[in-house]
Amino acid sequence: DVKVTQSSRYLVKRTGEKVFLECVQDMDHENMFWYRQDPGLGLRLIYFSYDVKMKEKGDIPEGYSVSREKKERFSLILESASTNQTSMYLCAWGSGYEQYFGPGTRLTVT
Amino acid sequence: GQSLEQPSEVTAVEGAIVQINCTYQTSGFYGLSWYQQHDGGAPTFLSYNALDGLEETGRFSSFLSRSDSYGYLLLQELQMKDSASYFCAAPNRDDKIIFGKGTRLHILP
């Protein structure tokens, strides 16, 4: 059974904190993605990675960075959390036409 | 640029058939995917159409017409558990996906 796990289901952080969201996939796949999902806006791509130590900006990378030190792990970093980063964060692996998502992390920044 | 348009909400009756449409504008087109997402859950992959025509998977079918820049997801014999949001999506040459904003399907008993 394919597994994508994310470090937390719910997270509450304060404005200005550095936040780490981790994602692990067990399919040995090269491609991994980070999205955020907001009501009325759908899924928006933040960053993606084709392989270890590789990263590409998505549509909304501002305020975020990523790390991919191992193939199975892709981390999203909020350098200084702000209230407008309150959202559902979804990690995925796969290709452009077929992706598999983790359960998501609902982050609240107060 | 790329954009995918789909209705924000659709309502149908249990046991009936419903069609969720998606029109797209893309600079390069490789195919159309569909995802289902239940409240509180993650999106799950349903289907992918690379070629024109109808692809059937059980009660769900997906259709693509490249000449019309249009596709749809067809759900038959609707069940209450089909109440969810449905997203169309299109990949680009960089293996990224652009998602539509989703269609919320309400099913009445």
Task: Convert the pLDDT of each residue in B27-64 to its tens digit.
Answer: 778 899 999 999 989 999 999 999 999 999 899 999 99
Size of interface A-B (CB pairs under 8 A): 55
* Closest approach of B35 to chain A, Cα-based (Å): 9
Per-residue confidence (pLDDT) for residue A60, from 0 to 100:
94
Which residue stretches of chain A have pLDDT < 50? Answer: none
Q: Report the SS3 class of residue A108.
A: strand
Cα distance from A94 to chain B (closest Cα, Å)?
Answer: 9
Per the CB < 8 Å rule, is A43 touching B43? yes
Closest Cα in chain A, distance from residue B96 (Å): 5
DSSP-derived letter for residue A13 is: E
Average pLDDT, chain B: 93
Residues of chain A with Cβ-Cβ distance to B43 below 8 Å are: 43, 90, 99, 101
| C-alpha distances out from residue B68 to A14, B2, B20, Å | 48, 15, 15
> Tokens representing B57?
């998977």
Rounded CA gap, B87 and B38, in Å?
11
> Which tokens belong to A18?
């550095």
Of B46 and B94, the one with more pLDDT: B46
The fraction of chain B above a pLDDT of 90, given in percent, is 83
pLDDT tens by residue, A95-108: 888 999 999 999 99
Strand blocks (E) in B14-91: 18-25, 32-37, 44-49, 53-57, 60-65, 70-75, 84-91
Q: Which of B41, B42, B95 sits opposite A95 (nearest CB)?
A: B95
pLDDT score recorded for residue A25: 92
Retrieve residue B80's tokens. Answer: 């209450």
